[in-house]
A = this chain, B = another copy of it.
Amino acid sequence: MTQRIEHHACFGGWQDVYQHRSEVLDCDMRVGVYYPPQVAHGPCPVLYWLSGLTCTEQNFITKAGAQRYAAEHGIILVAPDTSPRGEGVPDADGYDLGQGAGFYVNATQAPWSRNFRMYDYIVDELPAWVESDPAASSVRAISGHSMGGHGALMIALRNPGRYRSVSAFSPIVAPSQVPWGEKAFSAYLGERSEAWKTYDTVELIAGDLSERLPLKIDQGEADEFLDAQLQPQRLAESCAARNHPLDLKLRSGYDHSYYFIQSFIGEHVAYHAKAMA
């Protein structure tokens, strides 16, 4: 069951919000979808955007200003909510665990394991739903911000061939090593174990990968979470050690907000458009 919740003309295309039933998450999920004007002429490639802590499907579609670039390049933008939601879904105090903080993993621990399976949702169920619409091709790219930057990098690395390109803004690159990730992984995955490494970008880069998909990352140097939670040097070191292609741009003066994202989202959309052409 899919319901259209919002429908707005935007840059010659349509910014929609849908609610659909997720079997994987056992709840209804909201997703923002931008259809560029080019869908009138045939299927368009899809850029998935994974948002950060506390976000819903609304943040990216209202604040990033990405639709202009998607309309220029003929790309569909898909921005899902960041976790399962609703009354039957577990939650926790604090903004960094539970609803709004799915961390794009498949939880194995109670009470989370029934609903918190965002990895499977993003990798399989969401694209299947998106691609059931003839407007969307199966050519995919993925990007995201902060917790969603972690999700985008980790998911692209774990699924060779599935995405033509990946990028991130201010990503959590080593969740196993920083407070946000340690809290979430402990709750969702249990005590520190090999399972943590399978959701950790720096660990994945250090391992054997059948594909060395280049990483494009923008990071603000005035980001208030830079030292405690983001630590991009860990990724730079891991990529250097394995010769993994990394384009890490440190942006002087920029913080963690959508003002940073809107300033550089045009470069990211153009990058993905080229990769998906």
Contacts and interface: CB of A to CB of B under 8 A. Distances in A.
Contacts of A8: 254-255, 257, 259-260
Given A9-B222, A220-B9, A253-B9, A65 B259 contact: no
Contacts of A63: 62-63
Interface in A1-50: 8-12, 15
Contact of A255 (B9, B251, B252): B9
A220 B9 CA distance: 9
A262 interface: yes
Contacts of A212: none
Interface string A235-262: 0000000000000000111110111101
Copies of the polypeptide in the assembly: 2
Chief secondary structure at chain A's binding surface: mixed
A10 B62 contact: no
Interface in A183-240: 220, 222
A73 to B, nearest CB: 16
Contact of A68 (B222, B252, B258, B262): B262
B67 A254 contact: no
Interface string A46-70: 0000000000000000110101100
A263 interface: yes
Nearest to A252: B9
Contacts of A222: 9
Contacts of A257: 8
Contacts of A11: 262-263
A251 B9 CA distance: 10
A67 B15 contact: no
A83 B159 CA distance: 52
Contacts of A262: 10-11, 65, 67-68
Most B Cβ at <10 Å: residue of A254, A259, A260, A266: A259
Q: Which 6 A-B pairs have the closest CB atoms?
A: A65-B65, A9-B253, A8-B259, A10-B259, A9-B254, A11-B263
